[in-house]
Structure 1
């Protein structure tokens, strides 16, 4: 699916999780609450262990160093875990790879719009003490060329990560170091420019993002100390904006005869300098330290699991020199009930929390944001509560379902909105031509309904259907912005033979709104961005156990939709390539 930077996907999606077939040999699920791990075979390091890479590394442009929590289950209900990743969607795509396991892979693809996609993943065991080291390189770029767009719409992004870790019978640890660099262009100018003989040569739309990051984790399978994660990221752009973020999150649990006491702590510190706001050259500074504690107690037996607790976050903030301190208290209640064993499970809960809105995360979500100015104020989003309830289970041996409803209340929810063009502003920067995004904050209540069906026809076919409806209510504005009212996704994977396969995906995103830009009462109608759909198809062939060749078509309907306001995506795309799996 091509949604500009989120797209140009290819299909060697099949490697990352083949590694996890080995992990299944290394773990044993005892009673919930004790979670003792016995290593029953020699440990083999995998890419998923080393980097916790995305299950489908080539489906979306997600950070490869995001650590994914792994869950053991009580009648398929997630509970805390202390061991290795479970295999994910990649194994479903490349079934053959599970029988032909390799530690490493290389991938290259090329398509129209001068699109280049490459990945190299290597992880190897060191010595005989279950240590491993690895590296992961990922690159995607496009030369651009969207019809009717005057400014440069090319982009590129590259990630490089290294890791070192060890896994023992009673503990494991992992360290990572990496860097990222990317280039984007603010090419989404207002429609008025195209009918007013605007001189596009005045605009230099280039923006560059970079970061270096380091992190580590230690996990113990015995004693009250459960886990600790620590990470640091330094992020900067081409306009001298700089951001530092440090996170430390230890977790503890105490096993009692019939329950477990959990205590989760977190310190999340953000220091941000927007060095040049382009108007008065003032330096906008933001500092936030969020200190959180989440104690809870969990009761369980063979047919239920109930966790009761509360969360408390104290925010020590300074926004442009003004103190911004607050205390947030929220519920942490989760319950799961086995109504009909292996058929019907009910779950409900009430949770909350505080989300640190960082420049790095916002630029990852929308790289066309402004690098400063009055519209780019940073502050945390507070989820006062999120009530949810649902049912999940099986309608037949190969047909599973999940339905859920939730109601959420958020203070200071961050939403993107296009920055208006100011014709009177002198010495404009490349993002000050009505072509960049700022943030709008509001208190938002959201009622969501979600449902999914999954059909599993063994190794022959997999079908996944999901849909989501959202009803938003904002306190200050008429609407919420750049948030869809609904989503629908259909995915069909079909293996014609052991060598030939196809993967089709149809995604639909419902109507969204853009702020009208007028702060008068009564407010004028906001801009409707409209809905869109995106159709993608991959056809692959495995000539040998190590080689996979593929052709992927994206946005096959050639829909010229707007992923963000004024930002049209590339039309029909075709990308072909190959992946090679190997061992040293």
Structure 2
């Protein structure tokens, strides 16, 4: 209303002014119309608020009726008297006493003796001293053998360790004694009189000393050194020294994990297999392996390379090798499905000690040289099917130059040594590519039952040799442990090894025969054990090996013992 009133006043005033102006300029100015327009500018007073709850003025409005609640209770006399409550008792698990030391002794068929002693004593907080002793021997007795087949293996190790504020260290040393027999003769080649003159015994001895050092918070994370002297009763000897260290190299905000290694080996054999010329070998390698780890959500990648410099001290030859060192993993479905893969390589340092431990029937006439593992590629899937079941499926590819293969030595017509009757093995080297597919399944139902199953298939391709000597096409194993009750426990293990191939040949001027390939049948070996815990410290056990009583050949002309029984006891104690 105020706006309209103002407009009205302005209009009247303008009319009066216009009339006066017309009268003054009547003679020179034409009539004109002036329209004054003012935009509307609202003020706060023009607005009004709508009430949330409008007030009703209707006389017919119905008023709310007040509701009253009544409980019709009837008094009842009660004679119930509640009993006093008692808290439920929680069954406490029986405290299991853990001992630092144990001794075990068992005896069995084939005059087998098996003994172990483990000692560990805490001198002070973080300071320990201990040792380990083991012995396994058998007087032999395999049927239809012409030579003795007894064996013995004894190990002794002592160690001392200390844990300090910023680092820990450990030193250890020991020796190993082993004795075997070259009892694998081929029938029909030698007279009984000559065989009776053979002394097939072959013994090994080894002494070693080493140490480890680990830092908690430093650029150098850990390091280790080890020296081993290995020899036999055939005037063979080998020295090996290995030193390793790992450290972190910071670059800006990133860290490069680096490993450095030195590996020296040198040894000699009294003679060659065919001649009396002495065999010597020796080399030293220097390795450097930097790597960088990248992590992005569920993806982890290790990018690295390994550099190896080889100096052949016997032939004054130097070589340099570069190997990939790449590995990655990706969690497809949390812990259920994890994909992984990698491409790696390495220069493998072969040694007389390693060959003799894998095949104790080798002859002391070996050519020792490293293997160039140019490529080792793998890809696989692993994870958990449930909280108690885990799996791993893996495919492998190896490209190895100068891979060591065990091959039966020639049968010499006029042997001069005990290992020249075709009853020993030598080493041949060849370029081998290997493809394999492996699977693994682990079942942990609870703490009382565990089951593991493994299997792998191999396919080989050799370059110069006729066959991949003594390499199986299939391997498999099953392991089982079961805690039947608080006192009873049991377990079992089964192994399967597929077919292998070896070669038999005769060397001499009087016989001209071509080498003959021999197929070694696959074999299955089942073992089981059971035990009873008399008290916290003493328990007794029984073992059965080669339950199927198979007389299979692990190596050509080397059958194993049949079914074996062994019984013994284990005692745990503290000082």
TM over 0.5: yes
Question: Is the Cα–Cα contact under 8 Å of residues 103 and 124 in structure 1 kept in the other structure?
Answer: yes
Q: Distance in 1 between matches of 2:537 and 2:375?
A: 49
Corresponding residue for residue 446 of structure 2? 458
Per the TM alignment, residue 191 of structure 1 is displaced from its structure 2 partner at its CA by 2.8
Q: Distance in 2 between matches of 1:518 and 1:154?
A: 27
Corresponding residue for residue 147 of structure 2? 151
Corresponding residue for residue 10 of structure 2? none
Corresponding residue for residue 239 of structure 1? 234
Q: Distance in 2 between matches of 1:508 and 1:483?
A: 13
Residue 574 (1) aligns with residue 569 (2): no
1:422 corresponds to which of 400, 408, 412: 412
1:107 corresponds to which of 104, 107, 110: 104
Equivalences for 1:128-147 in 2 at 5 Å?
128=125, 130-147=126-143
Unaligned stretches of 5+ in structure 1? 1-95
Question: Is the Cα–Cα contact under 8 Å of residues 374 and 401 in structure 2 kept in the other structure?
Answer: yes
Per the TM alignment, residue 304 of structure 1 is displaced from its structure 2 partner at its CA by 2.6
Per the TM alignment, residue 278 of structure 1 is displaced from its structure 2 partner at its CA by 6.4
Question: Is the Cα–Cα contact under 8 Å of residues 258 and 299 in structure 1 kept in the other structure?
Answer: no
2:532 corresponds to which of 538, 541, 545: 541
For 2:235, what is the secondary structure of its paired residue?
A: coil
Deviates more, 1:300-309 or 1:460-469: 300-309
Residue 326 (1) aligns with residue 319 (2): yes
1:532 corresponds to which of 523, 532, 542: 523
Per the TM alignment, residue 97 of structure 1 is displaced from its structure 2 partner at its CA by 12
Per the TM alignment, residue 559 of structure 1 is displaced from its structure 2 partner at its CA by 0.5
- TM-score w.r.t. length of structure 2: 0.80
Per the TM alignment, residue 377 of structure 1 is displaced from its structure 2 partner at its CA by 0.6
For 1:362, what is the secondary structure of its paired residue?
A: helix
Corresponding residue for residue 183 of structure 2? 187
Residue 476 (1) aligns with residue 467 (2): no
1:295-322 CA-partner distances (Å, limit 9, x unpaired): 111112552321101111111114xx53
2:494 corresponds to which of 478, 503, 506: 506
Corresponding residue for residue 431 of structure 1? 419
1:89-145 CA-partner distances (Å, limit 9, x unpaired): xxxxxxx999331111101010100000111110111123x1111111111110001
Equivalences for 1:236-385 in 2 at 5 Å?
236-254=231-249, 260-277=255-272, 280-301=275-296, 303-318=298-313, 321-372=314-365, 376-385=366-375
Corresponding residue for residue 404 of structure 1? 394
Q: Which has the higher contact order (CA 8 A, sep 6+)?
A: 1
Question: Is the Cα–Cα contact under 8 Å of residues 344 and 394 in structure 1 kept in the other structure?
Answer: yes
Per the TM alignment, residue 260 of structure 1 is displaced from its structure 2 partner at its CA by 3.4
Corresponding residue for residue 475 of structure 2? 487
Q: Distance in 2 between matches of 1:583 and 1:454?
A: 34
Deviates more, 1:276-285 or 1:221-230: 276-285
Q: Distance in 2 between matches of 1:166 and 1:508?
A: 43
Question: Is the Cα–Cα contact under 8 Å of residues 489 and 505 in structure 1 kept in the other structure?
Answer: yes
CA spacing shift, 1:406–1:279, aligned 2, 3 Å: closer
Q: Distance in 2 between matches of 1:159 and 1:509?
A: 28
How many residues end up aligned between the 2 structures? 477
RMSD between aligned alpha carbons? 2.1
Unaligned stretches of 5+ in structure 2? 1-92, 508-513
Per the TM alignment, residue 524 of structure 1 is displaced from its structure 2 partner at its CA by 7.0
CA spacing shift, 1:380–1:97, aligned 2, 3 Å: farther
Corresponding residue for residue 50 of structure 2? none
Per the TM alignment, residue 324 of structure 1 is displaced from its structure 2 partner at its CA by 4.3
1:554 corresponds to which of 540, 545, 561: 545
For 1:364, what is the secondary structure of its paired residue?
A: helix
Equivalences for 1:34-49 in 2 at 5 Å?
none
Corresponding residue for residue 87 of structure 2? none
Q: Distance in 2 between matches of 1:108 and 1:192?
A: 41
Q: Distance in 1 between matches of 2:487 and 2:259?
A: 47
Per the TM alignment, residue 168 of structure 1 is displaced from its structure 2 partner at its CA by 3.2
Deviates more, 1:210-219 or 1:509-518: 509-518
2:381 corresponds to which of 362, 386, 391: 391
CA spacing shift, 1:569–1:401, aligned 2, 3 Å: same
Larger radius of gyration: 2
Question: Is the Cα–Cα contact under 8 Å of residues 392 and 402 in structure 1 kept in the other structure?
Answer: yes
Residue 178 (1) aligns with residue 178 (2): no
CA spacing shift, 1:280–1:417, aligned 2, 3 Å: closer
Corresponding residue for residue 29 of structure 1? none
